[in-house]
Amino acid sequence: MAEEMGTNDKIKYIKEISKDFFLAEVPLESLKEQDKNARVMSTQAFNQLKKNIGKEGHLESLPLCILQGEEIFIISGHHRIRAARAAGIKKDILILLYTKPLTKSQIRAKQLAHNSIAGEDNKQILAEIFLEIDTFDDKEESFIDPKILGLDSDIKNLENIEKAIPSFINVSFIFLKEDQAILDKALLEACEDIKKQDALYTTSMEDWERFKTALRLLKTKAQIISVGSGIKKMCQIVLAHYQDNNQESSNRQDATPSG
């Protein structure tokens, strides 16, 4: 397996867990820390961790790392590695290792997600790391609520949103009052969290492209000119579809013989 994975003689590949993700054995001193780590640990907790590792002679939970070039960087497990070094562990240790390239955003997301399991964070550093995550999927994986970092206003404020979400574009729709009832019914049935008008909601660029394609197709097929009328028609189709399905389901249940 080592021949297949390259010539890095610091790494002994034990088992392939999935594509580009391995259980591996590496020298403790070969592991490098991230330039930022929000997780903090009290002196008392660190000393206890060092004592436990020294007593057992090994780590009982595996650090998560990534191979970047010829270097191995820690994603999760900074304090475990520091404690193992402080405890005088000299032998090679087992780690979970990504060998595929990950973006900085993906690494930050995994770092925060694993850190959220236990312990406490330095919120200033945590916020700095969170703002380095540049996709919605990665932000979701980080399992961090931006509100606890005081970033909620940054994400909802149009002046700052490009900093938080580099690919952000702002699109506004204005609907006539006579269309409001249909739109409100469709939106509120689909999304319980939509409770107010004039709110800002975000989605991925991929979803935006699918929305435009669907709207363009509907306008062509239904011979609709305005965007607002097209969205109104979308809502009517969705409501009719699910109401019909619910009615069919109800009819099937009514027709089912009882025991």
pLDDT of residue 145: 72
Domain end (from 61, 82, 101): 101
Is the pLDDT confidence value at 253 over 70?
Answer: no
Please give the structure tokens belonging to residue 124: 């200033």
Alpha carbon distance 16, 30 (integer Å): 21
Is position 109 within any domain?
Answer: no
Least confident interval from 40-54, 165-179, 240-254: 165-179
User: Which range marks the domain in which residue 202 is found?
Assistant: 177-251
Is position 138 within any domain?
Answer: no
Is position 139 within any domain?
Answer: no
Is position 155 within any domain?
Answer: no
Is position 189 within any domain?
Answer: yes
Domain count, the chain: 2
Is the pLDDT confidence value at 157 over 50?
Answer: no
Alpha carbon distance 235, 180 (integer Å): 11
Counting every residue written for the chain, the total comes to: 259
pLDDT of residue 189: 56
Rank 169-173, 194-198, 202-206 by mean pLDDT and report only the highest: 202-206
CATH code of 96's domain: 3.90.1530
| Residues 76-101: tens digit of each pLDDT | 889 899 999 999 998 899 999 999 88
CA-based nearest residue to 75, from 134, 41, 31 = 31
Is position 157 within any domain?
Answer: no
Instruction: pLDDT band for 67, please (50, 70, 90 cuts).
Output: very high
Is position 21 within any domain?
Answer: yes
Burial readout 33-60 (b: 16 or more C-beta within 10 A, e: otherwise): ebeebbbebeeeeeeebbeebeeeeebe
In this structure, the answer to whether residues 11 and 97 fall within a common structural domain is: yes
Domain end (from 101, 124, 139): 101
> Which residue matches tokens 């930022």?
36
Domain end (from 68, 85, 101): 101
pLDDT of residue 153: 43
In this structure, the answer to whether residues 96 and 181 fall within a common structural domain is: no
Is position 130 within any domain?
Answer: no
Alpha carbon distance 38, 127 (integer Å): 9
Helix (H) and strand (E) counts for the chain? 11, 8
Neighbours of 31 (CB within 10 A): 21
Q: Which residues is 13 bridged to in the sheet? A: 24
Please give the structure tokens belonging to residue 136: 């919605």
In this structure, the answer to whether residues 97 and 7 fall within a common structural domain is: yes
